Amino acid sequence: MAVRVLLIAGLGHSGSTLLGALLGQLDGFFFVGELKSTARAFERGQRCGCGEPLSECPTWRGILAAAFGDRGSVSELEFDNSSARALGILRQHRSGTHPCAGAFAAVFRAIAETTGSRVVVDSSKWPGYAYFLGGLDDADLALVHLVRDPRGVAHSRRKHTARLGEPGLGPARSAMQWNVWNPVVEALGRRVAYLRLRYEDFVNAPEDAVRKIAALVGEAPLRLPFTAIGEARLEPTHSVTGNRTRFDTGTVPIELDDGWRREGASNGAVGALTWPLRLRYGYRTRP
Ligand SMILES: [Zn+2]
């Protein structure tokens, strides 16, 4: 039987890691992090969400042993960046023969088997990867399309790259990516179980968002991780890669980041370039 895979798709800096971690607390759900980059995460000696180095995490050792046996090759679990380019992916999706298809299918089955989970939550986000999962026979894909105000995305990216001292993606490129990625995810959503969720609605009413997403995959969890308004209690997950907030456990706040509203010129540029899709998603010109 195909494994239920719930992919959080859309642009980065939209709260996908927190959403994945919250879903990972539900009975029968396993939050895997950004599975698309698993090989690289192992290669770089990154830590699992539980805090152990990935190669020493007992959960991941069990998953890989069940997926690959003795020939244990985690190196096959890398969704190639170049193949994420939209046209290449659409071609590959039609042919249904992506070189990593077997490895990813084996890991989804292994996660379900070794952890007893019914739903695997993957926060890989990329549209190309979403199409790839849509073409996997062994994955029954459901999409949560996470959308955030494009001015908030651009602002959050700028902060992130400045912190790392890296050259950032300028407002124009950030806006164009927002214009392209969102409709591509929406188009796939017409073929699989699909829910569009705005980041702003998610952080303002996280309980509502989590219940709706659970219903999308036929689940009705009895216990939710929320402890108060704007607050949740998180147990560690076994996520590979993603935002550093994936290591946050215990009581964590769920709050709206709207620092972008204090920015001037770049908001105008991003706002102009993302019209009219921005309006269709309910993001008005004047915040
Ligand atoms: Zn772990």
pLDDT in tens, 217-268: 999 999 999 999 999 999 999 999 888 888 999 999 999 999 999 877 788 9
pLDDT above 90 coverage of the chain, percent: 72
- From the CA of 114, how far away is ligand 1's center (Å)? 13
- Give the type of residue at 273: L
Q: Which residues contact 53 (CB under 8 A, 6 or more apart)?
A: 45, 46, 47
Mean pLDDT over all residues of the chain?
Answer: 91
Q: Contact at 8 Å (CB) between 267 and 151? A: yes
Give all strands of the β-sheet with 3-10 in edge-to-edge order: 29-33, 119-125, 3-10, 139-147, 193-198
Tokens 């992919």 correspond to 7
Residue 159: predicted pLDDT: 86
- From the CA of 232, how far away is ligand 1's center (Å)? 21
List domains and CATH numbers for the chain.
3-280 (3.40.50)
- From the CA of 203, how far away is ligand 1's center (Å)? 26
Q: How many angstroms separate the CA atoms of 50 and 52, rounded?
A: 6
Residue 89: predicted pLDDT: 57
**pLDDT grade for 85, boundaries at 50, 70 and 90:** low
Q: How many angstroms separate the CA atoms of 40 and 21, rounded?
A: 21
Residue 96: pLDDT over 70: no
- From the CA of 158, how far away is ligand 1's center (Å)? 30
- Average pLDDT value for residue range 151-161: 90
Tokens 């642009």 correspond to 11
pLDDT tens digits, one per residue of 7-55: 999 998 899 999 999 999 999 999 999 999 999 999 999 999 999 999 9
- From the CA of 7, how far away is ligand 1's center (Å)? 20
How many residues would you count in the chain? 287
- From the CA of 236, how far away is ligand 1's center (Å)? 8
- From the CA of 18, how far away is ligand 1's center (Å)? 17
Q: How many angstroms separate the CA atoms of 1 and 113, rounded?
A: 11
Quickly list H helices, 80-205. Answer: 86-95, 101-115, 127-134, 150-164, 171-189, 199-204
- From the CA of 197, how far away is ligand 1's center (Å)? 28
- From the CA of 265, how far away is ligand 1's center (Å)? 43
- From the CA of 238, how far away is ligand 1's center (Å)? 4
pLDDT above 70 coverage of the chain, percent: 93
- From the CA of 272, how far away is ligand 1's center (Å)? 43
**pLDDT grade for 93, boundaries at 50, 70 and 90:** low
- From the CA of 55, how far away is ligand 1's center (Å)? 9
278: β partners: none
Kindly compute the dihedral angle of the four CA atoms of residues 88, 190, 243, 5, in this order, to the nearest 10 degrees.
Answer: -100
- From the CA of 59, how far away is ligand 1's center (Å)? 6
Q: How far is CA 114 from CA 30, 65, 133, 275, in A?
A: 11, 10, 21, 46
121-147 as b/e: b if 16+ CB within 10 A: bbbbbbbbbbbbbbbbebbbbbbbbbb
